[in-house]
Amino acid sequence: MLIMILIVLLALGFDFINGFHDTANAIATAVSTRALTLKVAIVMAAAMNFLGAVVSTGVAQTIAKDIVDLSSINNGSAVMIVALISAILWNLITWYYGIPSSSSHALIGSLTGAALADAGFSAIKFHGFEKVVSSLVFSPLMAFIVGYLMYTMIKIIFNKANSGKANHGFRRLQIFTAALQAFSHGTNDAQKSMGIITMALVSYGYRKDMSIPLWVQLFCALSMALGTSVGGWRIIKTVGTQIMQLRPSNAVAADLSSALIIQIATRFGLPVSTTHVISSSIMGVGTSSRIKGVKWSTGKKMLSAWVTTIPITIIMSAGIFAILNLVI
């Protein structure tokens, strides 16, 4: 029972860190254009994250069922504990350095590495793993394309509009798009910890199937909302100011594009990196606006984190698992 409680606490801790690590991306555009003050944006994002987290469970079931085969695991408790510790460590490292890394990548890589260290390749459901990784890889590419097209349409529609009035209107619209971003983040990112907790409940015989209990939804949603309330200025600065100089019109285009991609992924139960989707949509919008205005050096840094997070966390969690086996 104590181990079960530890897994739940670690999962909620992961969601809390995810709240100030990843949710910062959802409000970065609105804060950087001064459509919302930081305090107001954080309160709004916390509320919308909570709402998003309690309305959907499809992604949670994907995490719980499609990556690791519980029947092949020797020590399920150790696998889940190590996976959460590894993902939390990676999130804290990337947050400290202001790198918009993916909590989704970190958790999936850590879960895979711990399962491999415990039972080898037989523990991995490769069809599900490939599906998850494919969604993580292709969603930023789609966000870039949609961001480019979205801002191209906005330029055409508002070509002859008064720039001052248009910017004022877009700045007001950003309140809605930032709220939609935060809601979308909650529908996808909070689900991952729900999946881990449900795996633990099934492993310990507290549940017979992978359906997500209401109390798990509520606790994960509350934990992420509390994390969001702490804020995440380091990530906001990177996403909001170090990719391109955002204006209200292109910020709205980026918000709508990324929210659309996240909502489609959530509808099909696919976990995506909201960090990379939002950042990629901003780069797509920037390319449509003025390609030289995009700070591609920041993009390279994010691409590096995008490519390396899963391999690094696989190795990290496998290493932590091996050390625990030696110590215990």
pLDDT of the chain along its 328 residues, tens only? 788 999 999 999 998 888 776 666 677 777 777 888 877 887 888 888 888 888 877 788 888 888 898 888 898 889 999 999 999 999 888 877 767 677 888 899 999 999 999 999 999 998 888 888 888 889 999 999 999 999 999 999 988 888 778 888 998 898 899 899 889 888 887 778 888 998 889 888 888 888 889 899 899 888 888 887 775 555 555 554 555 567 888 889 999 999 999 999 998 888 888 878 888 898 899 898 877 767 777 677 777 877 888 999 999 999 999 998 887 6
**CA triplet 287, 292, 296: central angle to 5 degrees?**
80
Q: Is 68 helix (H, G, I), strand (E, B) or coil?
A: strand
Q: Are 191 and 50 in contact (CB under 8 A)?
A: no
Q: Where are the alpha helices (DSSP H) in 206-295?
A: 214-230, 233-241, 248-267, 274-290
Give the residue among 79, 12, 55, 61 at the shortest CA–CA distance from 220. 12
The span from the CA of 152 to the CA of 282, in Å, is 13
Which long-range CB contacts under 8 A does 73-76 form with residues at least 24 apart? 73/115, 73/118, 73/119, 73/123, 73/203, 74/118, 74/119, 75/118, 76/199, 76/200, 76/203
For residue 24, the model assigns a pLDDT of 64
Distance CA 178, CA 80 (A): 33
Torsion angles phi and psi, residue 68, rounded to 5: -115, 140
Residues paired with residue 68 on neighbouring β-strands, in sequence order: 124
Give the CA dihedral 186, 189, 193, 196, nearest 10 degrees.
Answer: 130
- What crossing angle do the helices spanning 163-203 and 103-119 adopt, rounded to 10°? 20
pLDDT attached to residue 304: 80
How many CA atoms, within 13 angstroms, populate the side-chain half-sphere of residue 296? 4
In whole angstroms, what separates CA 103 from the centre of its chain?
5
Number of Cβ within 10 Å of residue 307's Cβ equals 12
Task: Write the Ramachandran bin of 205: left for phi over 0, alpha for psi from -120 to 50, otherwise beta.
Answer: left
Coil, strand, or helix at residue 320? Answer: helix
Classify burial at 138, counting beta carbons within 10 Å of its beta carbon; exposed 0-12, middle 13-18, buried 19 or more: middle
- Cα separation of 32 and 240, whole Å? 5
Burial of 22 (0-12, 13-18, 19+ CB in 10 A): buried
Q: Which three-class secondary structure state does DSSP give residue 175?
A: helix
Q: Write out the H or E segment, with its range, that includes residue 206.
A: none
Torsion sign (Cα): 229, 234, 235, 238: positive
Phi and psi at residue 288, to the nearest 5°:
-70, -35
